[in-house]
C-alpha cells in the first residue's frame, strides 16, 4: 500500500531515500510502464509492448521483464540486477506529483521500501534546505509528468489510426508445459504500411514515426526473454 504525503521540510527533514535500483521490492516486476523518450534505449535490450490499464482500458506502453506476477527474469539468483536501463517509472520512486486543492504538489510515498530515516540520501539538509537528491527527484518527476502527456497523445494517435493489434506469446517450457501470455498488443505492420500520405505526414510532424520504428525493432528482443524464461523453468524442473 502507499501513504502519499506532500513534501515539506518540517515533517520530512530526517527522511532518507534509497536509490530504486538497490531495492528488490521495487525492481521485482514482470513489467513496467515506459514512456516515448525511453523507447530508443529500451529497443536495444528489451521488448516493448502495449497493454490495457485494468482500471481504464486505456493503452499504455510497457517493457516486459517476465511473464508471471512479479517475475523479473533479468534478476540473477542472488537477486542482483545491474540494469542497463532503468525506466523513469522506477527511477522516480518514491516521488510523485499530486493535485491537492487545485495545486500540483511534490509528494513522497512514506510506505515505500525506499524511504526510511537510516538508509540512503537525505532530502533536506540540516538547515531544512533541499538537497541535491531532492532537486534531482524534482527534475525526474517533471520529466515523468511531461512523458505521461506525450504517451497519452502518442497512444491517441495510434489508436485513431488503428495501429494496434493483439498478440499472444506462445512457447513451450522445457518441461513441455505451455507458456502463453495474453493481453499484449503490438504495432500492426500491415496497417502501418497502408496509412494515407496525410496520416504519415501527421506521424512525421510529431516525430512519432521514429517511436514506431523503435517499437517494431524492440520486438526482436522477445526471443531472448522467452529463452530466459524457458531456461528458468528448466532450472526449476530439475
Partner 1 sequence: MSKLCKDIVIVGGGSAGWITAGVIASKHKKGSSSHVNVTLIESPDIKPIGVGEGTWPTMRNTLRKMGISETEFMRECDVSFKQGAKFAQWVTGEKDDFYYHPLVLPEGFSKGDLSQYWSSNIHSQSFSKSLCFQEDICENNLAPKAITTPEYIAVANYAYHLNSSKFSAFLKKHCIEKLGITFVSDNVTGVNSDIKSHDILSVTTENSGNISGDLFVDCTGFSSLIIDKHYNVPFIDKNEILPIDRAIAVQIPYADDETNIASHTISTAQSAGWVWDIGLPNRRGVGHVYSSKYNDEATATKELIEYLKATGTTDTDNLTFRHINIRPGHREKFWVNNCVAVGLSAGFLEPLEASALVLIELSAAMISEQMPKNREAMTIIAKRFNNLFTYRWARIIDFLKLHYVLSKRRDTPFWCDVTSADNTPESLKELLTLWKFQPPWIYDFDHAEEVFPAASYQYVLYGMGFETAKPEAFSQEEVMFAEQQLTNNKKNITKLIHNLPTNRELINKVKQYGFQKV
Q: Which residues bind partner 1 (CB under 8 A)?
A: 52-59, 159, 162, 164-166, 183, 185
Closest approach of Cβ 163 to partner 1, in Å? 10
**Residue owning grid cell 491537492:** 100
Nearer to partner 1, 59 or 208 (CB): 59
Q: List the beta bridge partners of residue 187.
A: 164
Report the nearest approach of partner 1 to the CB of residue 160 (Å).
Answer: 10
Nearer to partner 1, 57 or 178 (CB): 57
- Sheet bearing 178-187, strands edge to edge: 31-33, 59-64, 48-52, 178-187, 164-172
Contact criterion met (CB below 8 Å) for 50 and 165: no
Task: Tell the smallest beta-carbon distance from residue 165 to partner 1 (Å).
Answer: 6
Least distance between partner 1 and beta carbon 68 (Å): 18
Contact assessment for residue 60 and residue 155, using Cβ atoms and an 8 Å cutoff: yes
> Is the Cβ of residue 54 or residue 102 nearer to partner 1 in the bound state?
54
Nearer to partner 1, 119 or 152 (CB): 152
Whole-number Å distance between alpha carbons of 95 and 85 = 19
DSSP secondary structure string, 123-146? SB-TTS-B-HHHHHHHHHHHHHHH
CB of 151 to partner 1, least distance (A): 15
Distance CA 181, CA 222 (A): 12
Cell numbers representing residue 227 in the block: 529463452
For residues 42 and 164, which CB has a smaller minimum distance to partner 1 in the complex?
Answer: 164
Whole-number Å distance between alpha carbons of 36 and 152: 10
| Spatial contact of 129 and 29, defined as CB atoms under 8 Å apart | no
In the bound state with partner 1, the residue whose beta carbon lies nearer, of 50 and 67, is: 50
How near is the Cβ of 64 to partner 1 at its closest, in Å? 17
Amino acid at each position: 500500500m502507499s501513504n502519499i504525503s506532500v513534501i515539506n521540510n518540517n515533517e520530512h527533514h530526517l527522511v532518507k531515500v534509497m536509490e530504486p535500483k538497490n531495492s528488490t521490492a521495487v525492481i521485482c516486476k514482470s513489467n513496467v510502464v515506459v514512456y516515448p523518450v525511453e523507447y530508443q534505449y529500451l529497443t536495444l535490450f528489451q521488448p516493448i509492448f502495449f497493454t490495457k490499464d485494468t482500471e481504464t482500458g486505456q493503452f499504455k506502453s510497457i517493457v516486459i521483464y517476465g511473464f508471471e506476477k512479479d517475475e523479473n527474469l533479468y534478476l540473477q539468483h542472488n537477486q542482483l540486477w545491474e540494469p542497463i536501463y532503468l525506466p523513469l517509472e522506477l527511477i522516480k520512486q518514491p516521488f510523485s506529483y499530486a493535485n491537492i486543492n487545485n495545486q500540483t504538489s511534490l509528494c513522497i510515498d512514506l510506505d515505500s521500501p525506499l524511504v526510511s530515516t537510516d538508509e540512503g540520501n537525505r532530502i533536506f539538509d540540516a538547515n531544512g534546505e533541499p538537497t541535491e537528491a531532492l532537486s534531482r527527484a524534482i527534475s525526474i518527476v517533471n520529466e515523468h509528468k511531461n512523458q505521461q502527456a506525450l504517451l497519452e497523445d502518442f497512444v491517441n494517435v495510434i489508436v485513431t489510426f488503428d495501429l494496434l493489434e493483439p498478440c499472444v506469446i506462445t512457447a513451450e517450457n522445457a518441461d513441455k508445459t505451455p507458456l502463453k501470455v495474453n493481453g499484449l498488443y503490438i504495432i500492426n505492420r500491415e496497417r502501418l504500411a497502408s496509412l494515407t500520405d496525410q496520416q504519415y505526414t501527421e506521424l512525421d510532424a510529431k516525430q512519432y514515426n521514429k517511436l514506431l520504428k523503435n517499437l517494431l525493432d524492440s520486438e526482436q528482443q522477445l526471443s531472448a526473454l522467452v529463452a530466459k524464461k524457458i531456461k528458468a523453468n528448466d532450472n526449476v524442473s530439475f
